[in-house]
Amino acid sequence: MRVVGLHSDVLVATSRMWQTTCTIVRHREECFVIDSPVFPHELEALPVIVEQAGWELSGMLCTHGDWDHLLGRYAFPGAALGCAETTGARLRASPGEAQRELREFDEENYVERPRPLSLGQVQALPVPGHVGIGDTELDLLPTDGHTEDGMALRIPWAGVVVCGDYLSPVEIPWLSESGSRDAYLATLERLRPWVEEASWIVPGHGAPIDAQRALAILREDVAYLEALPDAAAPIPPARRTGAQRKIHEENLKRVRA
């Protein structure tokens, strides 16, 4: 796992699996961990990272309800988890889904964990909206399209946007079973002004990128999505890998359904 500092108040850890990102943000006496890395040893390192920074955890947040963003409970078993109201509704409607998918991943990849995943206390947050941290706030923006739920978070004083599974330098737009091309395009347009004003964008998968690169990825993603369901929709050259071609095939099936 690689950890970088984007600001004196913002650290980003990138997992070895799928380059899943975990953002740690503090303001004065409060600190939140947003999303999570994947492997047990990476999760075990999170409390150490927070302690070495001299910060004290106040709670956890997640950008959406996919299992690989919900593993912070292993690192901080007593912390509350904040999420968008849409994510809260998703978790209530499909109890055990994240646990089942994590179990399947672990069995396939020979990963052992100390105990089953428990999401514990989940607090649904109104989005769009804000969540307090220290004597200021994080801004919240709805992000659906990849899934039916989600939120992006803006850290205004640091110029950082944590956008979940959008604007990835390593992954093309991925329409899940509950996703929507039109909703994805609408989310990209909602994100655009935030990106234009930001110094750093933290995607759900891939290392943090600057605003110029994020805007280029946004343009590529809009062009790709607008071309669907054409099989020749332009997969961006930097992301034209075998894994992304498989995602493209899944997208075609879902848009044509």
**What is the H or E stretch that residue 225 is in?**
helix 211-227
Instruction: Give the residue numbers spanning the domain of 182.
Output: 2-256
Mean pLDDT along residues 45-64: 96
Total structural domains in the chain? 1
* Per-residue pLDDT at 256: 85
Q: Is 212 exposed, middle or buried (0-12, 13-18, 19+ CB in 10 A)?
A: exposed
Question: Tokens 């004065």 correspond to what residue?
Answer: 28
Mean pLDDT along residues 108-133: 95
Q: Is the pLDDT of residue 4 over 90?
A: yes
Mean pLDDT along residues 116-123: 91
Mean pLDDT along residues 142-159: 98
CB atoms within 10 A of CB 14: 21
* Per-residue pLDDT at 116: 94
Give pTM, 2 decimals: 0.96
Which of helix, strand or coil describes residue 252? helix
Query: CA angle, corner 202, sides to 47 and 199, nearest 5?
Result: 115
Q: Is the pLDDT of residue 121 over 90?
A: no
Per-residue model confidence as pLDDT tens digits over 157-173: 999 999 999 999 999 99
* Per-residue pLDDT at 218: 98
Cα–Cα distance, 214 to 75 (Å, whole number): 30
* Per-residue pLDDT at 202: 98
Q: Is the pLDDT of residue 257 over 80?
A: no
Per-residue model confidence as pLDDT tens digits over 172-203: 999 999 999 999 999 999 999 999 999 999 99
Q: Could you tell me the CATH number of the domain that includes residue 14?
A: 3.60.15.10
* Per-residue pLDDT at 219: 98
* Per-residue pLDDT at 118: 92
Q: Is the pLDDT of residue 205 over 90?
A: yes
